[in-house]
Each structure stands twice: as structure tokens, then as C-alpha cells.
């Protein structure tokens, strides 16, 4: 048997998964996309699968692989990286590393993130994979894993190279992977000005939104004569973080203004609203040292809503009437089904908040005879 409890909440209407709201006006970049971080839902797009050169926005994948190595323990923030002749020969945006110069991983990540240093990107790539070519192989493998269907990397910097292409959708996918699973990157992407080499080398962020856009959290700019102006811009307000990607903008101003238009549209049109179950009743435990166990949601739930539409969210709580001991913490006891206007949008496991040990044979007999005595 199951207990079924329905809770109706007067909220705002969810944008259906298959629907796309129209793109905001005022975009001058020929290709763009706006994505919400936690759900990965695309809120608007225009020519999002058209391939262009990404320029230094490429470095989002470079940073993702570095952050994955750090978080897995394969690399440490304080590891020393030595610049090779190849790394120092990159040109373009750089901090003018000298051959054999050494820096920590932390300082090189700072240089890549804040000033788009090509020399540090290659030095990090060689440190992790031995050669830039081997690192680029990793980049392309990771792109396939993330579903980046229109991407092919030739280098780890974004410097012009034949066949080095991606699209707005793919940039949004790798941007989301970086900020969702490696939030500590924000320590660097939100820097406006800083220094390296004991204060001798000044850094100023190439992403000007960090200075003047409310809630800006990153992420990466790019420019070459052939790629024109590209940007993956991230910003957070009221617990919702958005990713706005623009490519091939004609000027730097167009790049930033297009990203602003996307972000403004997202924050004014959508909201990420938490959903909570009503008070959950305890579940009976058979043959347990405790007679009941308290169910709790296995994770938080938030529904992405379009503010302009009235609607309703309903939750249905489905719980087992009883469970037999032993009960493990985190053991599934039921589920919470979340619907908007009758359409299911999420399903969250309801799990045991604490363990319940099984009664011993002796305890079972003592409990039985105690019950029998009380009845007599």
C-alpha cells in the first residue's frame, strides 16, 4: 500500500521542456544561446549550432580539464609548472613566460582565466599530458562525452588553426560543466584586477562584465581577426545562474551588449523556485529496534518557471506503508513526483534519514511475550 498526498502550490508556470521562448531583441551577434545552469535548459537561442572559430573561449575546455585533474587529486594547486620553449612561443595574449620559468598551477590558472594567457595554457597542457597534442586529444574526447557535436579542437589556446571550430550550444555545454561541477573556478573568473610575479605583473580581466554587470561570475572572452568577438558570460541572481554565449560579434561592444541582453532577458523572464514536500509522515519499520523511520528528500528540487505565465505546481508523495529492518541511511522509501499543469517535471527519491537496526531473535521473543502479557 502507498500513502498518496497531493500538495497544490500557486506558483508560476513552467516553460515546457520542448518550448523555447523567443530570443530577446537587440542582439547584434549572429549566433547566441542562453542556458540555465542547474537544469541545463536552453531559454533562448539563435543559430546556436552554427560553427565558428571560438578564439580564446577554447580555454574553457582547457580550464575544465585542469580543474578535473585538481579535483581528482591528479594535480595540486601548488604544483610547479615549468614553461617549455613551445609554450613561450605562442604569442597573442600572454604573460611573456620565459623558457624554464616556473609558476604554480594556481598562478597559471589565474593568468589563463583573467588575461587569457596562451603561454600558460600550453604550459598547463604540457604539464598534464606531456605534449599539447596529447592534451588536445583529451579535449576532443571530453567534448564528445559532453555531447558537443559541432566541436573540433586543434589546440588548447584558440589561436587560429584550420578546423578549430565549435558553436554556441557546445560552448554553453562545456561552460555549464565547468561552473556546475567545479565552482571554485569562480575564485579566478570573478577577479577584476590582480598581479603575478610578486606584484610585478599587472592583470586586468578581459571580461568587462565582471566590472559593471550585477551578479557577473565569469567566464571567458575570445577574439581573433577571423573569429571576431566571442564570449561565454555567466551571472547569478536570486540563486539562479545563467550562461550567455555569443559568437562572431562584429565588435567588442556588440559582444558584451549582446551577452547583457541575453542575461537581462533571462533574469527578467525566468525564476528558479524551490519545491518542498509537505510534512512527511514516518514509515513503519517491521522487526526494527525503532518502530518508525523518517523519510526525507534525497536532494533539493527547484523548478525553472517562466514568470509571465500563471500556473500551478503539484507534488505527489508516494511512500511505502512499511519497510522491514534493517534500514540503511539513504535507503529509498518512496518518491516525490513534481508536476506543472499536470506534466511531470521531476521525481525525487524519499530516503531514510537514519539507520534502523533489526531486532535480535531474543528481542523479538521478549517483545512478543511482553505484548502477549499486556493483552492478557
Beta strands across the sheet bearing 42-46: 42-46, 31-36, 240-249, 228-237, 216-224
Q: What sign has the CA pseudo-torsion 252, 91, 225, 227?
A: negative
Reading the block at residue 287, the C-alpha cell is 522487526
Query: Strand 228-237 to strand 216-224: parallel, antiparallel, or no bridges (unpaired)?
Result: antiparallel
Is residue 258 among the annotated active site residues? no
Is residue 59 among the annotated active site residues? yes
Of 32, 84, 93, 116, which residue is the catalytic one?
Answer: 116
Of 59, 110, 220, 260, which residue is the catalytic one?
Answer: 59
The closest of 339, 343, 330 to 297, measured between CA atoms, is 330
How far apart are the C-alpha atoms of 3 and 334, rounded to whole Å?
Answer: 10
369 Cβ neighbours under 8 A, 6+ residues apart: none
Please check whether residue 165 is in contact with residue 222, taking contact to mean a CB–CB distance below 8 angstroms.
no
Please check whether residue 205 is in contact with residue 213, taking contact to mean a CB–CB distance below 8 angstroms.
no
The closest of 301, 304, 287, 299 to 367, measured between CA atoms, is 287
Please check whether residue 313 is in contact with residue 278, taking contact to mean a CB–CB distance below 8 angstroms.
no
374 Cβ neighbours under 8 A, 6+ residues apart: none
DSSP type of residue 192 = S
Reading the block at residue 90, the C-alpha cell is 605562442
Of 56, 93, 175, 258, which residue is the catalytic one?
Answer: 56
* Helix or strand holding residue 71 (H, E): helix 59-72
Catalytic annotation, residues: 56, 59, 116
Amino acid at each position: 500500500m502507498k500513502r498518496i498526498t497531493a500538495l497544490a502550490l500557486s506558483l508560476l508556470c513552467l516553460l515546457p521542456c520542448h518550448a523555447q521562448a523567443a530570443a530577446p531583441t537587440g542582439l547584434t551577434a549572429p549566433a547566441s544561446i542562453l542556458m540555465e545552469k542547474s537544469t541545463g535548459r536552453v531559454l533562448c537561442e539563435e543559430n546556436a549550432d552554427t560553427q565558428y572559430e571560438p578564439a580564446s573561449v577554447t580555454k574553457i575546455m582547457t580550464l575544465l580539464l585542469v580543474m578535473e585533474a585538481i579535483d581528482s587529486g591528479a594535480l595540486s594547486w601548488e604544483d610547479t609548472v615549468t614553461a617549455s620553449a613551445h609554450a613561450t612561443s605562442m604569442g597573442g595574449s600572454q604573460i611573456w613566460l620565459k623558457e624554464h620559468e616556473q609558476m604554480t598551477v594556481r598562478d597559471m590558472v589565474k593568468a589563463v582565466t583573467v588575461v587569457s594567457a596562451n603561454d600558460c595554457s600550453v604550459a598547463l597542457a604540457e604539464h598534464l599530458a606531456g605534449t599539447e597534442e596529447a592534451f588536445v586529444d583529451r579535449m576532443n574526447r571530453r567534448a564528445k562525452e559532453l555531447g558537443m557535436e559541432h566541436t573540433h579542437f586543434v589546440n588548447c589556446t584558440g589561436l587560429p588553426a584550420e578546423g578549430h571550430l565549435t558553436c554556441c550550444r557546445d560552448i554553453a555545454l562545456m561552460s555549464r560543466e565547468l561552473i556546475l561541477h567545479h565552482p571554485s573556478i569562480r575564485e579566478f573568473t570573478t577577479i577584476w584586477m590582480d598581479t603575478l610575479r610578486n606584484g610585478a605583473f599587472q592583470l586586468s580581466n578581459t571580461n568587462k562584465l565582471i566590472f559593471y554587470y550585477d551578479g557577473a561570475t565569469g567566464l571567458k572572452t575570445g577574439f581573433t581577426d577571423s573569429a571576431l568577438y566571442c564570449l561565454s558570460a555567466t551571472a547569478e541572481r536570486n540563486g539562479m545562474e545563467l550562461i550567455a554565449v555569443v559568437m562572431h560579434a562584429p565588435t567588442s561592444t556588440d559582444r558584451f551588449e549582446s551577452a547583457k541582453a541575453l542575461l537581462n532577458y533571462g533574469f527578467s523572464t525566468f525564476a528558479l523556485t524551490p519545491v518542498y514536500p509537505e510534512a512527511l509522515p514516518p514509515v513503519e519499520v517491521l522487526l526494527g529496534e525503532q518502530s518508525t523511520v523518517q523519510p526525507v528528500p534525497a536532494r533539493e528540487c527547484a523548478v525553472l518557471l517562466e514568470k509571465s505565465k500563471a500556473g500551478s505546481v503539484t507534488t505527489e508523495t508516494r511512500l511505502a506503508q512499511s519497510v522491514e529492518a534493517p534500514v540503511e541511511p539513504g535507503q529509498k522509501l518512496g518518491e516525490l513526483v513534481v508536476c506543472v499543469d499536470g506534466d511531470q517535471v521531476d521525481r525525487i527519491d524519499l530516503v531514510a534519514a537514519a539507520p534502523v537496526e533489526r531486532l535480535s531473535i531474543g528481542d523479538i521473543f521478549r517483545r512478543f511475550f511482553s505484548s502477549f502479557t499486556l493483552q492478557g
